[in-house]
């Protein structure tokens, strides 16, 4: 996988470039991982509802073709866009999402933080009262009887530290994952993050982890490169 550090780039042209790369790639095009941060922007997924945009104010809103609801990108957040041919890699979308989440969990572990999955809610979460504790979450994904409804997400005692939103076209992925490092979290109060009213969003700085953007980006890039390999 070719890792491309883009620096700080505007969201809309990056989105257009991802879509163009995916549309134009061939069977032999190497996979890439684009690593960047964005100026302040709200992005709305295909399932996005206008009522989840509470008061965007002067921050632009960009509608996209990724899955999910509304989220925020801004300085101090590591954004990674894996451009992967899943057919060539040999795994399906569900496994792809799992591998991205696992890369975030391992990145957090490298920094002394325990990341968690929550049943019914993609992304990675941390315990607000004990970010480094290893106790298993009651809200974790668990096997359920076939045909039973998906559980309603329970965010009690948790903060969301990484958001995930993807698009797959002709077996090829774009969009990706955002890890909050040290950012202004106020814009998250202007939305229902990922469509959940009252969901608290945190960053590494908030939970007491002092790490540079560059270090967090390097570790996450390495983990994604390893875990998304065929």
Residues labelled as active-site residues: 194
DSSP state of 49: -
Kindly state the helix (H) or strand (E) to which residue 220 belongs, with its residue range.
Answer: helix 213-227
For β-strands 121-127 and 158-169, DSSP reports them as antiparallel
β-sheet bridge partners, residue 78: 179
Q: Where are the beta strands (DSSP E) in 104-221?
A: 116-118, 121-127, 158-169, 172-180
Q: What are phi and psi of 110, to 5 degrees?
A: -60, -30
Residue 183 in 3-state DSSP?
coil
Candidates 163, 172, 167, 221; CA nearest to 192 is 163
For β-strands 32-37 and 2-8, DSSP reports them as parallel
Q: Pull the structure tokens for residue 138.
A: 């009651």
* Residue 16 CB coordination number (10 Å): 10
68 phi-psi bin (left φ>0, alpha ψ -120 to 50, beta other): left
């Amino acid at each position: 996988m070719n890792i491309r550090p883009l620096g700080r780039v505007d969201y809309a042209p990056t989105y257009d470039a991802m879509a163009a790369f995916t549309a134009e790639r061939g069977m032999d095009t190497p996979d890439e991982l684009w690593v960047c941060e964005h100026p302040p922007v709200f992005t709305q997924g295909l399932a996005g509802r206008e009522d989840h945009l509470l008061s965007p104010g002067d921050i632009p809103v960009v509608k996209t073709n990724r899955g999910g609801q509304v989220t925020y990108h801004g300085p101090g957040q590591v954004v990674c866009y894996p451009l992967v041919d899943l057919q060539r890699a040999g795994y399906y979308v569900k496994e792809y999402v799992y591998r991205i989440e696992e890369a975030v969990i391992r990145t957090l572990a490298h920094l002394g933080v325990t990341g968690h999955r929550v049943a019914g809610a993609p992304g990675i979460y941390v315990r607000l009262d004990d970010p480094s504790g290893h106790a298993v979450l009651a809200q974790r994904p668990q096997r359920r009887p076939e045909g039973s409804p998906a559980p309603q997400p329970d965010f009690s005692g948790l903060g969301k530290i990484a958001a995930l939103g993807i698009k797959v076209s002709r077996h090829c992925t774009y969009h990706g994952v955002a890890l909050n490092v040290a950012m202004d979290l106020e814009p998250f109060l202007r939305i229902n993050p990922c469509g959940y009213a009252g969901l608290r969003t945190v960053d590494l700085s908030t939970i007491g982890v002092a790490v540079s953007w560059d270090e967090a980006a390097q570790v996450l890039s390495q983990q994604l490169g390893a875990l998304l390999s065929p």
